[in-house]
Chain A
Amino acid sequence: MKTPASALSGRWEAYWFELVPPHVFALLRILFAAVALLSLAGLTPVEMFWSLDGLSPLPSNPSGPRAWLMARGLSAAAGWAFFGYSAVAASAMLVGLRSDAAVLCTFLGLSLQTYWNRLPLSSAHQVELVVLFCLIWTETGRVWSLDARRHTRDGAQDATGLPIWPLRLIRAQVALIYLSSALWKLSYPAWRDGTAVYWALNLNGFHRFPWPIPVALEPLLPFFTWGTLLFELLFPVLVWFRATRGPVLVMGLGLHLGLWLTLEIGPFSWVMIASYVAFLDPRRVARLSVTTPSSDRLPSTGTLRP
């Protein structure tokens, strides 16, 4: 007979080590590689953002590697090499060539970028980093990858299950992003008095359309401000429950598409939308695959024992 402690332990184990089809991890790999490549395209010309004598902080440590490279006139060459490395790693991640190594290399590249030149990097970069960190620990190339093609003789992909815990970590991370963002915003008067969206939409560095906001529309903006705040505060709670998860993800999709439509904020909207894949039911994602073997080959609700 099971004791309450062993039942709890079993549930805990199942929560973290339940086996799920690998397709959701593959989809995350593909989407985040695409976003990484998109960001690389934005970070051009290479001389501007990758060369150490470009739009990049001056070396603070005169004996550090950045200063060493600059002193030897290798700024541009090192910048091009780093850009090339990042592009190759993200491309390999996209197509699933040596997927595990590609994810690791892309993660290392993104991490190094923070040290190399943090100036053009926004919060989108941080989200990319934390999601890739979670993906390092799983096998993202089992399906929908060149690796899978290479390793399968008869075309049937190895869709055996993977532990769910990296997915759970991504979910927790995204929920935390919203919660911390909401708490920060609450500390500023513009979010409490409802004018924050108005000020953001007016900023010349961000607004997509060059016209002033019609005065008649202004009374609606406080509702968008408070709505955003409410959404961010409630997201970590509502996304937890199956019944409310779908609606809250659709609302998030609307929020980020609205942001993209009205403001130029780089890859942020796409990164956040891509991260929503982590909240999808892994079995449903697996059904997207035209080469998925019959459902009896998908893992049942098993648990991987650590």
Chain B
Amino acid sequence: MFSNPPRVDTYFRVRYYIESEGGRPWTATELVGPAHREDRIRLVSSFRDSFQDKALELAGEGFLRRRKPAAIAPGTRPNELPDDLAPVGRVFARRFANARLRNSAQRIVRTEVWVGTADNKAFGSPVDRQGLADRRAALLEYADGPAEHRLRVPLYPPYHGVQEEAGIRWVLEYFEEP
């Protein structure tokens, strides 16, 4: 990692699409990496978080290394992608379902793993305090757990679709439809 430190901050989020018979579909999006809140000093619990961050980093690296360039196309299906990010989607989807969907008729019909990057300021350039504040504000939406969207439910994005959020460029890298 530190042999060639990246110039970007990296984020991982998992989005769940939930449906029930006769009910309105809704989504929940969870920021899973970094595991700690970056607007706080990292103290004792962040030691444990570092293991989760390492796992996400290695899963992401493995995925990017093994994905074939031809797979980067809007119509790509999960079986055309390497499975390195599958555990990321599955483990957090299971945790979410246990916490939020237990004893309900609702179920997750699609899980997406998004990887976000945000440029760090160049060496010697002034700090963009406004940009930093905007990014922190956007990340705060995830601070209390998965952010739910029940009214404006997004359509399924194409594979490798991009979303911008306060300087973070999110790319849909992996999805599953169990």
* Distance in angstroms between the alpha carbons of A200 and B40 in the assembled complex: 18
Q: B35-52 vs A: 1/0 string, CB under 8 Å?
A: 010111110001111111
Q: Tell me, rounded to whole Å, the shortest Cβ–Cβ distance linking B163 to chain A.
A: 18
Question: Is B153 close to A, CB under 8 A?
Answer: no
- Using CB atoms and an 8 Å cutoff, list the residues of chain B in contact with chain A: 1-7, 9-11, 33-34, 36, 38-42, 46-59, 62, 83-84, 86-88, 90-91, 94, 118, 120-121, 123-124, 126-127, 132
Q: Could you say which residues of chain B place their CB within 8 Å of the CB of A120?
A: 51-52, 54-55, 58
Q: Could you say which residues of chain B place their CB within 8 Å of the CB of A188?
A: 3-4
Q: What's the tally of chain A residues with a CB closer than 8 Å to chain B?
A: 47
Which of A55, A184, A185, A198 lies in contact with B55, CB distance below 8 A? A55
Task: Say yes or no: B51 contacts A210, CB within 8 Å.
Answer: no
Which of B11, B40, B83, B123 lies in contact with A198, CB distance below 8 A? B123
Task: Say yes or no: A266 contacts B47, CB within 8 Å.
Answer: yes
Residue of A190, A204, A207 with most chain B CB atoms under a 10 A cut-off: A204
Question: Is A118 close to B, CB under 8 A?
Answer: yes
Task: Say yes or no: B6 contacts A203, CB within 8 Å.
Answer: yes
Task: Say yes or no: B5 contacts A190, CB within 8 Å.
Answer: yes
Which of B1, B47, B58 lies in contact with A264, CB distance below 8 A? B47
Tell me what chain B mostly uses at the interface: helix, strand, loop, or mixed: mixed
Q: Could you say which residues of chain A place their CB within 8 Å of the CB of B11?
A: 204
* Distance in angstroms between the alpha carbons of A215 and B127 in the assembled complex: 8
Q: Could you say which residues of chain A place their CB within 8 Å of the CB of B94?
A: 53
* Distance in angstroms between the alpha carbons of A203 and B54 in the assembled complex: 13
Given contacts A204-B9, A218-B124, contact A42 B47 (CB under 8 A): yes
Q: Could you say which residues of chain A place their CB within 8 Å of the CB of B121?
A: 202, 212
Question: Is A195 close to B, CB under 8 A?
Answer: yes
Task: Say yes or no: B127 contacts A204, CB within 8 Å.
Answer: no
Task: Say yes or no: A42 contacts B51, CB within 8 Å.
Answer: yes
* Distance in angstroms between the alpha carbons of A195 and B4 in the assembled complex: 10
* Distance in angstroms between the alpha carbons of A212 and B120 in the assembled complex: 10
Task: Say yes or no: B123 contacts A218, CB within 8 Å.
Answer: yes
Which of B2, B91, B126 lies in contact with A48, CB distance below 8 A? B91
Pairs A–B under 8 Å by Cβ, sample size 12: A48-B52, A48-B91, A54-B87, A58-B83, A119-B59, A120-B51, A185-B2, A191-B3, A200-B5, A212-B132, A215-B124, A266-B47
Which of B48, B52, B56, B123 lies in contact with A41, CB distance below 8 A? B48
Task: Say yes or no: B38 contacts A119, CB within 8 Å.
Answer: no
Which of B2, B90, B91 lies in contact with A196, CB distance below 8 A? B2
Given contacts A210-B40, A212-B132, A215-B127, contact A264 B2 (CB under 8 A): no
Given contacts A120-B52, A205-B10, contact A212 B47 (CB under 8 A): no
Given contacts A205-B33, A215-B127, A264-B47, contact A56 B58 (CB under 8 A): no
Which of B3, B10, B40, B127 lies in contact with A185, CB distance below 8 A? B3
Q: Could you say which residues of chain A place their CB within 8 Å of the CB of B49?
A: 264
Q: Tell me, rounded to whole Å, the shortest Cβ–Cβ distance linking A216 to chain B.
A: 11
* Distance in angstroms between the alpha carbons of A209 and B50 in the assembled complex: 14
Q: Tell me, rounded to whole Å, the shortest Cβ–Cβ distance linking B98 to chain A.
A: 10
